Amino acid sequence: MYISEQLKKKNQAEYLLYLWQIEDQIRACNLDLSIIDQRVIEGYQLSEEQAAPLRQWYEERIEMMRTEGVVTKGHLAVHNNVLINMADLHKELISSSKFPFYSGAYYKALPFIVELRSKSQALAREVTEVETCFEFLYGIMLLRLQKKPLSKETTAAIEPITNFISLLANYRDKEIKGELKLED
């Protein structure tokens, strides 16, 4: 909760990846708050007064995951909304001539996005290019946490996709603050 609040204000891309990590963390704890308490909350070494809202935050996510049917896979609607907002902004940025640097970053990442989409198992449902990039970045994060090697192809895709999503996140943060002018 505390980390998510900071990330939400600082960087929407990091915020979304963190939220996905929380979902997986909850799943790894079998949606059991007592296990989350032991494995996660106690690790923060908070006072009971500080731990109570964090415990409630996890409890709310557990309930939402059950209600929304994302107990074993998928993402909460509130988390998907972050992704949708970023994908919508991407469409606006790419269709505008005011953001050539952004368009350049997108087109550098596009061949890798196309390759990822061709290999993706999520083709049964419509996945935006932005979601494809986030799934890739989340997968990289998981591989690194597990200390697994990355293929040459994967390594080659990291920089252009990271640059593209980083720019998108920066524009999203400006949009949230009211600092982004999409039209003249």
pTM of the model: 0.91
Question: Does residue 183 have a pLDDT over 80?
Answer: no
- Scanning the chain, the segments in alpha helix (DSSP H) are 2-10, 12-28, 33-39, 48-68, 77-95, 100-119, 129-145, 152-177
pLDDT on residue 125: 66
The answer on pLDDT for 1 being more than 90 is: no
pLDDT digits (tens, 9 = 90+) for 68-104: 999 999 999 999 999 999 999 999 999 999 999 999 9
Owner of token pair 């049964």:
124
End-to-end alpha carbon distance in the chain: 38
Q: Name the burial class of residue 126, with classes exposed (0-12), middle (13-18) and buried (19+) by CB atoms within 10 angstroms of its CB.
A: exposed
* Integer Cα distance of 40 and 130 in angstroms: 30
With 80 as the cut, is the pLDDT of residue 120 above it? no
Structure tokens at 144: 């690194």
Rounded Cα distance between 13 and 87, Å, is 11
